[in-house]
Structure 1
Amino acid sequence: MAGKILYVCQEIFPYLPESEQSALCRQLVQAMQERGNEIRTFMPRYGCINERRNQLHEVIRLSGMNLIIDDNDHQLIIKVASIPTARVQIYFIDNDDYFARKAVLSDDAGWFADNDERAIFFARGVLETVKKLRWNPSVVHCHGWFSAVVPIYLKHMFADDPVFRDVKIAVSLYDDAFPGELDAGFRAKVEHEGVQDENLKILDNSSYQNLMRFVMDYADGIVLASEGVDAALAEYARRSGKPVLEYQAPEAEGFDNYNKFYEEL
């Protein structure tokens, strides 16, 4: 069964250095496209991505919307590029306030204090752009904690939207924990977006573990995408009663198992 799969990725090679996550996202999107699925793939346009070398260009018809985060207006800019060897197109979510800095999630001075708002903007930007594309995904697959706001929005703000009404959500867990907690106002900012949920109180302590537990509660299926996944989170996934895809080596057979996993959802 060929489906429509929306990939929301924290990092993709070759736009960011090769890591377990960036390499898997790069291989997975190509493998699923080659298996007959229709895919759309999004990542943030971090300021360290060289636009000329990677041939990014702005998609004017999708750009220009303003998103309000915590009472401030931020312009949404959409860029696109193709991975030459794979015939795979990547959409980039960009904004000068959040993504102009020449780093990904931290720099020499440490972790960015506004990473929570950057993740909120990324999630809103992806979902608003997919709506503009008038493209109805059957599965939304989120990779990395930076995509963690997407499932929350899909089950709340976008739940009645015809584009997303029947969508299934897959969440991949990696060995990508961040230190400490996100901004203390993270829960309030998410609520401000129109999310009312008793379970949001877990985000009063927005540690990596709490955030990923919370997101797994919204998922229809969970992937253990790294051998180094936090043991307590892996256990939480297995006890959830939801379909869980255990760690797959990135090879043809593993990608076939991803395809079966999507069908199960």
Structure 2
Amino acid sequence: MKNILFAASECVPFIKTGGLADVAGSLPKYFDKERYDVRVVLPKYNCMYQKWKDMLEYVDHFYMNLAGQDRYVGILKCQYEGVQFYFIDNEHYFNGFAPYEGDPKWNIEKFAFFSKAVLSILPVIGFRPDLIHCHDWQTGLIPVYLDNFRYAGEYYRGIKTIMTIHNLKFQGV
């Protein structure tokens, strides 16, 4: 069985601003479940509707270093339409009124945190993907961080990545 992790900044039905959410929310459920274990990881935004937040189950938490500071990384999960979803919680980064807001430098820091946290939660949730499917610029640092994580131990070696750009207009410029 192949393990695939979708990493995205938005995903239907939990949070949507555009087409990225449609793809990240619909594609995983159509993989052959006998051949692929496809899971999705997202930020846990404060702006998600309460009904979705109420479905989430606490998994664990830890602290991760980012730019010389220890940052809280909470992990929540839920099963929806046969797909396991994980949510990365950090109120400092994901407490806004919209997924993308404010100063572009803030969004860069927010998604640098998210990208590193995606890799950091893998041993905690007990899921080692063969492939991480990175969606749009918000997950663009995952392949970069993965090169550094590979030096930390055998766990991360052999994980492949692929990047999908959903709309060239929104490339994080």
Distance 1:170 1:87, change over 3 A: same
Shift of 1:17: 2.7
Distance 2:34 2:21 in 1: 20
- Secondary structure (helix, strand or coil) at the match of 1:76 reads strand
The correspondence for 2:72, drawn from 51, 55, 75, is 75
2:162 is the counterpart of 1:150: no
- Structure 1, residues 74-113: CA drift from partner, whole Å, max 9, x if none? 2111111232xx221210111011111221111xxx4453
Match of 1:44 in 2: 43
TM-score, structure 2 length as denominator? 0.87
| Structure whose CA Rg is larger | 1
Distance 1:178 1:131, change over 3 A: same
2:101 is the counterpart of 1:101: no
- Name the aligned partner's letter for residue 79 of structure 1: L
Contact 1:55 1:81 in 2 (8 A): no
Contact 1:139 1:169 in 2 (8 A): yes
Shift of 1:46: 1.6
Match of 2:54 in 1: 55
Contact 1:59 1:78 in 2 (8 A): yes
Shift of 1:58: 4.2
Shift of 1:170: 0.8
- Structure 1, residues 17-76: CA drift from partner, whole Å, max 9, x if none? 36321111111111125463012210111221124345343424x21x112222222211
TM-score, structure 1 length as denominator? 0.59
Contact 1:42 1:126 in 2 (8 A): yes
2:30 is the counterpart of 1:27: no
- Structure 1, residues 147-182: CA drift from partner, whole Å, max 9, x if none? 111010112233453222111111101215458xxx
Match of 1:163 in 2: 155
Distance 1:43 1:156, change over 3 A: same
Distance 1:38 1:72 in 2: 34
Match of 2:120 in 1: 128
Aligned residues: 173
Distance 1:100 1:129, change over 3 A: same
Shift of 1:118: 1.0
Match of 2:5 in 1: 6
Contact 1:137 1:164 in 2 (8 A): no
Considering fraction of residues, name the structure with more strand: 2
Q: Where in structure 2 are the equivalents of 1:195-210 lying within 5 Å?
A: 208=173
Distance 1:59 1:171 in 2: 29
Distance 2:32 2:76 in 1: 21
Match of 1:66 in 2: 63
Contact 2:14 2:52 in 1 (8 A): no
- Secondary structure (helix, strand or coil) at the match of 2:164 reads strand
Gaps of 5+ in 2: none
Contact 1:56 1:79 in 2 (8 A): no
Distance 1:90 1:33 in 2: 17
